[in-house]
Amino acid sequence: MQAGGKRYFVMSSIARSSAIQSEINPASLQNPVLSFLRQYWEDKRGQRVMPSRADIKPAEMKEYLGWIILIDVLPSFDDFRFRMIGTRVSQYFLADATGQTMRDAFAAYGDAVINGVIATHKKTARDRVVVRAHGGAGWLGRSFLDFDAIYLPLSDDGVNVNMILSAFTFDAAELIKARGGNLRLN
């Protein structure tokens, strides 16, 4: 789907019911974390379609690591595994799902949520494109606020996406208020 010169895709029924918007290859990003990670990814890829995991150096993005997620792409793009989740992201979701598949990590929220989350990652991996998703996450519960995220493909062979580098951001001050002053993991 195209709107205003930008290509969008609908994640699933959760996107339609919760005002989540997705944008393919966003031209500009206002969020400084997403903007940094997109530029970092662009610099690392150079003339290639996408960089490899070996190109990504955590020490070069130390200030942003709390917002970063590294995801393994599983066969046929039917599921994805969280390899590394930044502490801020874990605080948002009230758990550290490192090592879990997306289907397992989001199982408590039902099939619509699982399918929506997987659709964004599948779009990134299958089509080898950068995807930005943003909007409300009320479908996860009342203490889950608006988010802004970017999904960037990585490939060890330059053709097949085997990992996704992501940043998931939110207003930490608003989250603390929504949770009564608590931003710790359960």
For residue 109, the domain's CATH number is 3.30.450.20
The verdict on residue 52 lying in a domain is: yes
Q: 58 or 93: whose pLDDT is higher?
A: 58
pLDDT tens column, 114-142:
898 899 999 999 999 999 998 876 666 55
Cα 108 to Cα 19, 102, 105, 119, 139, distances in angstroms: 21, 11, 8, 18, 12
Domain assignment present for 44: yes
pTM equals: 0.83
Lowest mean pLDDT among 57-71, 107-121, 161-175: 161-175
Residue 110 has φ and ψ, to the nearest 5°, of 95, 170
Give residue 81's domain range: 2-178
- What would the pLDDT profile of 75-95 be if each residue is shown by its tens digit? 999 999 999 999 888 887 777
* Domain-located, residue 185: no
Residue 184 lies in a domain: no
Judge whether 183 lies within some domain: no
Burial of residue 52, with CB atoms counted within 10 A of its CB: 0-12 exposed, 13-18 middle, 19 or more buried: middle
Question: For the chain, what is the domain count?
Answer: 1
